[in-house]
């Protein structure tokens, strides 16, 4: 396994680095195309998706990351990171763009504004539970063919997909990096 | 969404968590939806909706209060990023109104005229998270003790002069280092001197940082200012008058965002500073009639 990077333009980069470190994985901050070249997998952190998208372009990383994704770069995106990876974004800016690397439709702030942000237990496909932290979270409203649902949240009787995977591309609508539970990062790292 | 046995809103983790999501970014003061769009287009991570930027509050005088809800709602409708708004120190009824409007963060702010000269708001009582200003570590920990989920160094708002922001940031970080090097006996006396809750002093001594994110505000008006305070330990930057009181607000907004992200790369700061037009004119601190940072305690 090569090195893992965390996109460090904006957002909760430190928490992802700490979670990876807890798993014994040394990870590097990525803010330039040269730093992106050096990693074999990438985490797109939580943050503001519009700000990160803007900074990807101004940093010269937008196209470079697109090429790496097309070439099969393993990626884990959480919250804002999921929005950047999604094929369709609802309630976004008129000029919202993303990589379309994950065949899901997400609704920005799909659970509401900050006062509706919440914690809830999530159910993994093997039946075990992990803590979920949702902050102005996107809601995954549709999954295309080839998308595997790895965890769900019981939302008023509906099982919302909250952790999905399509080949090497992983997306979570919650923040596994904000809790001490390392399950999601471990599953991602083990897949590399 | 209402709480159920398994779903919990307003927890400390989700309140502090939104501040974590803003790290590395720039939060811009805006007074109308057009400015809010400029901020979002430039890559701001949030906007602070208020009726007058601090430079105008300073110029106009009078009592500065919470903004008109209609203006806040128009800004909420105009952008997809978080919208913050200010309540007066101690004015929990203004904070209740802002929570009812669904703002994403409340700034209990010394920029507005204080409503209570003894008590700050009990911020634990709210679902919406609060940011508060601080000039030193004791003040920061008192605010956190009251439930603040984000601290910004106060600086001197509306001056365009970064000197007070630097003073407050250095005061906070230097005292954190002092706590880290103190032995267990000394920490009790430090807590007493700081007039800060002992458990929070112990937490700072152990971790080497505040229990919540530390951002910087007050007088930041150039990309180099943003770089300076980020290098001094601020995890993100509030820019008030510095954007829309500059000669070219659109370019200044973009430049400050780049500077906050690439704060430790001088060549980027040089590039975005080039041909930027003049920053806001600003005030020399000794000429001020009123020091806003002295409000709150």
Q: What is the ipTM of this complex?
A: 0.96
Q: Residue range B51-68: average pLDDT? A: 89
Contacts of B39 in chain A (CB under 8 A): none
What pLDDT is recorded for position B6? 82
B8 contacts A120? CB cut-off 8 A: yes
Q: How confident is the model at residue A1 (pLDDT cuts 50, 70, 90)?
A: low
Q: What residue of A is the nearest CA neighbor of B23?
A: A11
What pLDDT is recorded for position B271? 97
d(CA A178, nearest CA chain B) in Å: 7
What pLDDT is recorded for position A63? 96
Q: Residue range A4-27: average pLDDT? A: 97
CB environment A28-67: b (16+ within 10 A), e (fewer): bbbbbbebbeebebbbbbbbbbbbbbbbbebbebbebbee
Check if B154 is active-site: no
Alpha-carbon distance of B126 to B9, in angstroms, equals 11
What pLDDT is recorded for position B158? 87
Q: Residue range A138-154: average pLDDT? A: 96
Say which of A10, A114, A120 has its CB closest to residue B129. A114
A136 contacts B24? CB cut-off 8 A: no
A with B: how many residue pairs have Cβ under 8 Å apart? 130
A112 contacts B104? CB cut-off 8 A: no
Q: How confident is the model at residue A2 (pLDDT cuts 50, 70, 90)?
A: confident
**Model's pTM, two decimal places?**
0.96
Q: Residue range A14-26: average pLDDT? A: 96
Alpha-carbon distance of B131 to B112, in angstroms, equals 14
d(CA A49, nearest CA chain B) in Å: 9
Alpha-carbon distance of B218 to B165, in angstroms, equals 6
Residue B67 neighbours by CB distance under 10 Å: 23
Torsions phi, psi of A159, nearest 5?
-90, 90
Reading the block at residue B49, the tokens are 């909706």
Q: Residue range B28-41: average pLDDT? A: 97
* DSSP letter for each residue of chain A: ---EEEE-SSSSHHHHHHHHHHTT--EEEE-SHHHHHT-SEEEE-SS-HHHHHHHHHHTTHHHHHHHHHHTT--EEEETHHHHHHEEEEES--TT------EEEEEETTTT-SGGG-EEEEEEETTS-EEEEEESS--EEEEE-TTPEEEEEEEETTEEEEEEEEETTEEEESS-GGGSS--HHHHHHHHT-
Q: Residue range A116-138: average pLDDT? A: 95
Alpha-carbon distance of B172 to B140, in angstroms, equals 8
Q: How far is CA B82 from CA A60, A80, B27, B44, B68, in A?
A: 26, 13, 9, 10, 18
Selected residue of B2, B5, B7, B77 to mutate for chain A interface (largest A Cβ count, 10 A)? B7
**Is B2 a residue whose pLDDT tops 60?**
no
Alpha-carbon distance of A67 to A78, in angstroms, equals 20
Contacts of B5 in chain A (CB under 8 A): none
The catalytic residues of A are: 79, 175, 177
d(CA A65, nearest CA chain B) in Å: 18
Strand A27-30 to A4-7 pairing: parallel
CB of A128 closer than 8 Å to CB of A108: no
What pLDDT is recorded for position B187? 97
B7 contacts A47? CB cut-off 8 A: no
**Is B44 a residue whose pLDDT tops 60?**
yes
What are the pLDDT digits (tens) for B115-128?
999 999 999 999 99
B46 contacts A10? CB cut-off 8 A: no
A12 contacts B20? CB cut-off 8 A: yes
Q: Residue range A115-140: average pLDDT? A: 96
**Is B30 a residue whose pLDDT tops 70?**
yes
CB of B277 closer than 8 Å to CB of B252: yes
d(CA B25, nearest CA chain A) in Å: 6
Q: What percent of chain A has pLDDT over 90?
A: 92
Spell out the residues 6+ positions from residue A67 whose beta carbon is closer than 8 angstroms to its own.
none
**How are strands ordered across the β-sheet holding A102-107?**
A86-90, A102-107, A139-143
Q: What residue of A is the nearest CA neighbor of B261?
A: A9
What are the pLDDT digits (tens) for B159-173?
899 999 999 999 999
Q: How confident is the model at residue B102 (pLDDT cuts 50, 70, 90)?
A: very high
Q: What percent of chain B has pLDDT over 70?
A: 98
A46 contacts B45? CB cut-off 8 A: no
| A4-190 topology per CATH | Rossmann fold (3.40.50)
A119 contacts B43? CB cut-off 8 A: no
Alpha-carbon distance of A81 to A171, in angstroms, equals 7
Q: What average pLDDT does the structure give for chain B?
A: 94
Name the catalytic one among B15, B37, B86, B154: B86
**Is B1 a residue whose pLDDT tops 60?**
no
Alpha-carbon distance of B37 to B47, in angstroms, equals 10
Of A87-96, A102-111, B10-19, which gets the smallest average pLDDT?
A87-96
């Amino acid at each position: 396994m090569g090195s893992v990077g965390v996109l460090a333009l904006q957002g909760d980069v430190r928490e992802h680095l700490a979670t990876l470190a807890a798993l014994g994985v040394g990870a590097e901050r990525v803010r330039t195309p040269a730093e992106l070249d050096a990693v074999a997998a990438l985490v797109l952190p939580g943050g503001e998706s519009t700000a990160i998208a803007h900074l990807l372009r101004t940093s010269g990383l937008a196209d470079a990351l697109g090429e790496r994704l097309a070439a099969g770069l393993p990626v884990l995106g959480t919250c804002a990171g999921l929005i950047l990876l999604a094929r369709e974004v609802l309630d976004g800016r008129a000029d919202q763009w993303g990589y379309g690397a994950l065949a899901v439709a997400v609704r920005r702030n799909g659970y509401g504004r900050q006062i509706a942000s919440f914690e809830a237990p999530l159910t993994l496909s093997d039946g075990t539970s992990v803590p979920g932290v949702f902050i102005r979270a996107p809601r995954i409203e549709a999954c295309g063919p080839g998308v595997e649902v790895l965890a769900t949240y019981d939302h008023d009787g509906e099982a919302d997909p909250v952790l999905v995977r399509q080949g090497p591309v992983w997306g979570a609508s919650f923040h596994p990096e904000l809790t001490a539970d390392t399950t999601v990062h471990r599953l991602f790292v083990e897949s590399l | 969404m209402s709480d159920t046995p398994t779903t919990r809103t307003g927890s400390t983790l989700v309140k502090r968590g939104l501040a974590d999501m803003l790290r590395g970014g720039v939060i811009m003061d805006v007074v109308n939806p057009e400015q809010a769009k400029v901020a979002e287009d430039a890559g701001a991570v949030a906007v602070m909706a208020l009726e007058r930027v601090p430079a105008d509050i300073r110029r106009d005088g009078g009592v500065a209060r919470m903004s008109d809800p209609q203006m806040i709602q128009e800004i909420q409708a105009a952008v997809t990023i978080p919208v913050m708004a200010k309540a007066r120190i101690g004015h929990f009824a203004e904070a209740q109104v802002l929570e009812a409007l669904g703002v994403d963060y409340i700034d209990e702010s010394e920029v507005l005229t204080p409503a209570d000269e003894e008590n700050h708001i009990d911020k634990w009582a709210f679902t919406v998270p609060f940011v508060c200003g601080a000039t030193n570590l004791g003040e920061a920990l008192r605010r956190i003790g009251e439930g603040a989920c984000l601290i910004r160094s106060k600086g001197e708002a509306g001056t365009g002069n970064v000197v007070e922001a630097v003073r407050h940031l250095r005061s906070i970080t230097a005292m954190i280092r002092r706590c880290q090097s103190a032995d267990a006996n000394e920490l009790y006396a430090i807590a007493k001197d700081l007039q800060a809750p002992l458990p929070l002093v112990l937490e700072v001594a152990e971790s080497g940082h505040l229990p919540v994110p530390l951002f910087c505000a007050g007088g930041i008006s150039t990309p180099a200012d943003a770089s300076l305070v980020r290098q001094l330990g601020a995890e993100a930057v509030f820019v008030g008058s510095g954007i829309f009181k500059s000669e070219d607000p659109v370019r200044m907004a973009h430049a400050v965002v780049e500077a906050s992200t690439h704060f430790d790369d001088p060549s980027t700061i040089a590039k975005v500073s080039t041909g930027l037009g003049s920053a806001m004119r600003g005030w020399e601190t000794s000429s001020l009639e009123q020091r806003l940072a002295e409000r709150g305690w």
